[in-house]
Amino acid sequence: MRILYHHRTLGDGAEGIHVREMVQAFRRLGHEVKVIGPVGEVLPEQSRKLRILDWTKRHIPAAFYEILELGYTLYALWKTRREIGTFQPDFIYERYIIFNAGTTLGGKSRRVPVCLEVNAPLALERSGEPDERLIFRRLAFAIERWVCSNATRTIVVSTPLKDYLESTGVPAGQCTVMPNGVDPAQFAPRPKNSDLLERLHIPPDCVVVGFTGVLRPWHGLDMLLTAMGNVVRQGCNAVLLVVGDGPYRAVVDGIVARECLGSHVRVTGRVPHQQVPDYVALFDVAVSPRAPFYASPMKVLEYMALGKAVLVPGTPNFLDIIDEQVNGMTFPDGSAAGLETALVSLCNSPQACRELGAQARRKVEARLNWAWNAQEVCRLISTALGDLRGRS
């Protein structure tokens, strides 16, 4: 099939990984993909447009920026209709972005199916940001509801996100839950790198508890550090390895100092994504302490692909990914004591860690990968095309 893929992201971070991986997965299945959007397919580090767009977002007034976002709908409508005429796609794959109805309008106007991928309820998310509060809030919610309701198929990354969108008026049955994926070849199990352990000053006999990602307040690192302090005080020979950097780094460093955890915590700073597998390979227990209620954290899928024992909150979005006591363990959401208990259990049970990790890898190979997601999208659209032809 011929797929027109639109996104209006800056192409960096997790969103950039998601875009590139899905495009590659479609192509590996033999489909022809054309990517359109402000950045297109250019890698973010190579894009001059990215720097311009990032500067614009940071320096112009919020109201004016939202007007530009609304104006993008007209550009997206024109661009989509133009590409339909020249590229003649079988369907359009749209990564949802706030204020943009143009891609869905363009597809509907030319009778081309639109598959909408929704990773977050952006109107709700941006309404809660103190430094990015929406000016045209009611319009943002209205457009989000309309786009999610009028795409041919709406793909959401978690069950809570589906439930939330339906609570706003999106018709029941419109959304299909499809958690994020991972590339099992890139994130393949591998032995611990002894040289890397030495560079990080981690003794080879230590249990390594790990976390990867941008350091932000909502990731629950404060809770993880508190739990880790108690784990160490109970006599566990363990080290916490935090792979990443970010605006929460100063708080992390402060907690480490207050809890006297300096000899039991390593923070790497920013690591290029292609090097992340080597760091995760050092983990014995991989933790995602907290996430927004709607999220499908890619870090958890990467942990699973590398065959690690995963420890996550027992919330519905995480339970879309793991099966409790089969390919991962959970603790009560927000409970440092529950996290501590689970950590002690895993730190003292290397066999359990190996078994959970092996089962996690099997689930990634069978289902939680980009190829499966791309194939399922094509199946859903093929079904929709058949239904449309049947009605015509």
Share of the chain above pLDDT 90, in %: 85
Phi, psi dihedrals of residue 240, rounded to the nearest 5°: -95, 120
**Which residues, 6+ apart, have CB-to-CB distance to 126 below 8 Å?**
98, 132, 133, 134, 140
**Which residues, 6+ apart, have CB-to-CB distance to 269 below 8 Å?**
244, 245
At 198, list the tokens: 């030495």
At 175, list the tokens: 């959304």
Q: How many CB atoms neighbour CB 2 within 10 A?
A: 12
Q: For the chain, state the CA radius of gyration.
A: 22
**Residue 66 falls within a domain, yes or no?**
yes
Whether 161 and 273 share a structural domain = no
Whether 33 and 165 share a structural domain = yes
Q: What is the mean pLDDT of residues 215-239?
A: 95
Q: Which pLDDT belongs to residue 56?
A: 66
**Residue 75 falls within a domain, yes or no?**
yes
Q: Which pLDDT belongs to residue 60?
A: 76
Rounded to the nearest 5 degrees, what angle is found at the Cα of 204, between the Cα atoms of 201 and 206? 90
**Residue 186 falls within a domain, yes or no?**
no
For the cut 90, the answer to whether the pLDDT of residue 115 exceeds it is yes
Per the structure, the complete domain to which residue 294 belongs is given by 194-366
Q: Helix or strand or coil: residue 3?
A: strand
Cα–Cα distance between 232 and 240 in angstroms, integer? Answer: 10
Q: Which pLDDT belongs to residue 134?
A: 87
User: With contact defined as beta carbons under 8 Å apart, do 165 and 175 qualify?
Assistant: yes
Q: Enter the DSSP assignment of 38.
A: S
For the cut 70, the answer to whether the pLDDT of residue 266 exceeds it is yes
At 266, list the tokens: 């390593």
Whether 131 and 220 share a structural domain = no
Whether 379 and 359 share a structural domain = no
**Residue 188 falls within a domain, yes or no?**
no
Q: What is the DSSP string of 286-345?
A: EE-----TT---HHHHHHHHTTPEEEEE--HHHHTT--BTTTBEEE-TT-HHHHHHHHHH
Whether 352 and 385 share a structural domain = no
| Confidence tier at 279 by pLDDT (50, 70, 90) | very high
For the cut 70, the answer to whether the pLDDT of residue 55 exceeds it is no
Q: How many CB atoms neighbour CB 292 within 10 A?
A: 18
| Confidence tier at 54 by pLDDT (50, 70, 90) | low
Q: What is the DSSP string of 299-315?
A: HHHHHHHTTPEEEEE--
Length of the chain, in residues: 392
Domain total of the chain: 2
**Residue 189 falls within a domain, yes or no?**
no
Q: Which pLDDT belongs to residue 53?
A: 61
| Confidence tier at 127 by pLDDT (50, 70, 90) | confident
Q: Which of 368, 301, 363 is nearest to 326 (CA)?
A: 363
Whether 77 and 130 share a structural domain = yes
For the cut 90, the answer to whether the pLDDT of residue 334 exceeds it is yes
Match 């004016």 to its residue by tokens: 64
For the cut 90, the answer to whether the pLDDT of residue 212 exceeds it is yes
Match 């839950």 to its residue by tokens: 177
Q: What is the mean pLDDT of residues 342-358?
A: 97
Q: Helix or strand or coil: residue 129?
A: coil
Q: Which of 135, 13, 5 is nearest to 70 (CA)?
A: 135
| Confidence tier at 132 by pLDDT (50, 70, 90) | low
**Residue 162 falls within a domain, yes or no?**
yes
**Residue 276 falls within a domain, yes or no?**
yes
Whether 21 and 38 share a structural domain = yes
The CATH number of residue 143's host domain is: 3.40.50.2000
Whether 104 and 243 share a structural domain = no
Whether 271 and 258 share a structural domain = yes
Whether 245 and 127 share a structural domain = no
Whether 177 and 48 share a structural domain = yes
**Residue 383 falls within a domain, yes or no?**
yes
Whether 374 and 360 share a structural domain = no
Most distant CA pair in the chain, distance: 70
